Amino acid sequence: MEYKKLSTMLPADGILNVPGGFWFIDDLPAEASYELRLDAHVRCKFILHLGLQGHRIRRRVIFSICGENAKLDAHVLIQGAKNQCIEWVGIQRHLIGNAESNLFIKSTAENAVEISIISKIILDANATKSCAYFQNKNLILSNRAHVTARPELEIFANDVHCSHGAAIGGIDPMEEFYLRSRGISQRAVKALLQRAFAEEILCQMPNDMPCNQAR
Amino acid sequence: MRSALAIRNLYLNVAGKAVLHGLSLAVPAGEIHVLMGRNGSGKSSFVHALVGQIPVAAGEVSLDGVSLLGLPPEIIAQKGLFLAFQTPVALPGVTITQLLRSALQARQEKGKLFDHMQFHDDLEAAMEFMGMDASWASRHVNDGFSGGERKRCEMLQALILKPKYVLLDEIDSGLDVDATRIMVNAIRLLHRRGTGMLIVTHHSRWLEVLAPNGVHLLSDGVIHRSGGMELARAIEAEGFQAAQ
């Protein structure tokens, strides 16, 4: 699939009726708010990396599913370093049924990073036979780092498939020991496992994205 | 003093329970030794203690005269001790190439450039020796591997990292006949390179072809009896009770 940068497509009012068949890359500055609307039969993939935009980063994104047979796959990777403060507020709103949305967010927090992830699925009364999923995994790499995750559901329709979940944890001590037993320093092990955690989303990002230059 | 992995009067407690009570054992450089014992006798705890995963209560562990006690696991590994785990963990997102490159780079002398071409040539040759397809290099370590594949991946790492001493914790368990043959050949290759080995196993038959220098029976937290292949055969034929 070809990819398009949001910075070149987003209208002044921040509402974009997305054409299907593309990857949409969020390349907007540190603070941004927008709505992506998917009409009937539109299928698109959305990619976002947060972490390189500045000290305070904030995203408010509404994915509106407006037509039947629309499908959204959204992948968000948040990588906080130093004492960054990063906030994600997302809404998957299904206004009509027979459509699907998947939002997958991963975050890593080092040093004194603060990350807040609030994500809500809203299924309107007309959204029967909708499928909406939200999954969030967070890796904390320092005692001073802080991650808050708040997955929410509001379902007003019957006959729907819906799931949401969030997990926050540190590095698995067994994985850490295994790598150290191969002679790799604790610091290098941390970097390796941090990279491994992000790989699931990083590998889907185009090679020319700044976060992917070192791959 | 002869080079050896030497353990003297080792005491070990696991979860408040005394597991080893003054165990002593030496694996001289280039020799193959075998450790046998009942389930739960402390064999795995013992080898995990040697690589720094379980703290030692008392005693001494040295590698070629240098004490390993209290050293972090990465330093123990860099000094030349390698443990092939009985149940290696999966590392999703870390490829076999990444793991081995990081491990070799950690051993690299300061100021010396890492030879990527040599690394890839060595990896390719070792994978071929272990009966692994070239695509394994980009597979995530042990992620989705069968038990036998995990064991081969452990041995692949030993072949590439070239440690002085290798601890093989039930490396033969769960292997089919072909994989067992590959494993035996890999042990022979390590032996030819002069690597000292301590093999923890429950089975003696596959040891016949390896002709170990010593077989040791761990019981009641100490080496209860040492001998040659006749001891392994006796354990296989008559059980631990009779062999004691």
- Tokens representing B1 are 């003093």
DSSP class of B29? T
Q: Name the percent of chain A lying above pLDDT 70.
A: 97
Nearest-CA residue of chain A relative to B105?
A: A184
Q: Which helix (H) or strand (E) holds A194?
A: helix A186-202
- Tokens representing B43 are 């064999």
The one-letter amino acid at A60: R
Cβ-Cβ contacts under 8 Å, A186 against chain B: 72, 74
Model confidence at B131: pLDDT above 90: yes
Which of B91, B102, B106 is opposite residue A175, by nearest beta carbon? Answer: B91
Which of B73, B82, B93 is opposite residue A199, by nearest beta carbon? Answer: B93
Nearest-CA residue of chain A relative to B162?
A: A182
Which of B52, B93, B102 is opposite residue A188, by nearest beta carbon? Answer: B102
Model confidence at B1: pLDDT above 70: no
- Tokens representing A52 are 């390189």
Which residues make Cβ contacts (< 8 Å) with residue B11, sequence separation at least 6?
Answer: B18, B20, B21, B22, B56, B57, B58, B59
The mean pLDDT of B73-91, rounded to a whole number, is 97
Spatial CA neighbour of B63 closest among B52, B55, B53? B52
Contacts of range B135-139, beta carbons closer than 8 Å, 24 or more positions apart: B136/B96, B137/B95, B137/B96, B137/B97, B138/B95, B138/B96, B138/B97, B139/B95, B139/B96
Sign of CA dihedral A144, A145, A150, A151: negative
Rounded to a whole number of angstroms, the distance from the CA of B94 to the nearest CA of chain A is: 5
Sketch the domain layout of chain A as residue ranges.
2-170
Confidence tier at A52 by pLDDT (50, 70, 90) = confident
The predicted pLDDT at position A215 comes to 47
> Do β-strands B56-63 and B32-37 pair in parallel, antiparallel, or remain unpaired?
unpaired
Fold of B31-44+72-243: Rossmann fold (3.40.50)
Residue B63 in contact with residue B79, Cβ under 8 Å?
Answer: yes
The mean pLDDT of A193-208, rounded to a whole number, is 88
Residue A3 in contact with residue A212, Cβ under 8 Å?
Answer: no
Sketch the domain layout of chain B as residue ranges.
31-44+72-243
Interface of A with B (CB under 8 A): 172, 174-175, 177-186, 188, 192-193, 195-200
Which of B93, B102, B161 is opposite residue A197, by nearest beta carbon? Answer: B93
Q: A180 vs B107: CB contact, 8 Å cut-off?
A: no
For residue range A135-177, list pLDDT tens digits in order.
999 999 999 999 999 999 999 999 999 999 999 999 999 999 9
Residue B43 in contact with residue B18, Cβ under 8 Å?
Answer: no
Determine contact: B51 vs chain A, CB below 8 A.
yes
| Mean pLDDT, rounded, of chain A | 94
Q: A172 vs B51: CB contact, 8 Å cut-off?
A: no
Q: A174 vs B78: CB contact, 8 Å cut-off?
A: no
Q: B73 vs A177: CB contact, 8 Å cut-off?
A: yes
Determine contact: B54 vs chain A, CB below 8 A.
no
| Count of A-B CB contacts under 8 Å | 73
- Tokens representing B223 are 């080496």
Q: What is the rounded (10 degree) CA torsion for A91, A94, A100, A102?
A: 10
Rounded to a whole number of angstroms, the distance from the CA of A189 to the nearest CA of chain B is: 9
Confidence tier at B144 by pLDDT (50, 70, 90) = very high
Q: A184 vs B92: CB contact, 8 Å cut-off?
A: no
Task: Decide if the complex's ipTM is over 0.90.
Answer: yes
Rounded to a whole number of angstroms, the distance from the CA of A144 to the nearest CA of chain B is: 24
Determine contact: B34 vs chain A, CB below 8 A.
no
Which of B78, B92, B98 is opposite residue A183, by nearest beta carbon? Answer: B78
For residue range A113-135, list pLDDT tens digits in order.
999 999 999 999 999 999 999 99
The mean pLDDT of A74-87, rounded to a whole number, is 95
Nearest-CA residue of chain A relative to B91?
A: A175
Determine contact: B93 vs chain A, CB below 8 A.
yes
For residue range B206-228, list pLDDT tens digits in order.
999 999 999 999 999 999 999 99
Q: Is the pTM of this model over 0.80?
A: yes
Which residues make Cβ contacts (< 8 Å) with residue B40, sequence separation at least 6?
Answer: none
Which of A180, A182, A186 is opposite residue B157, by nearest beta carbon? Answer: A182
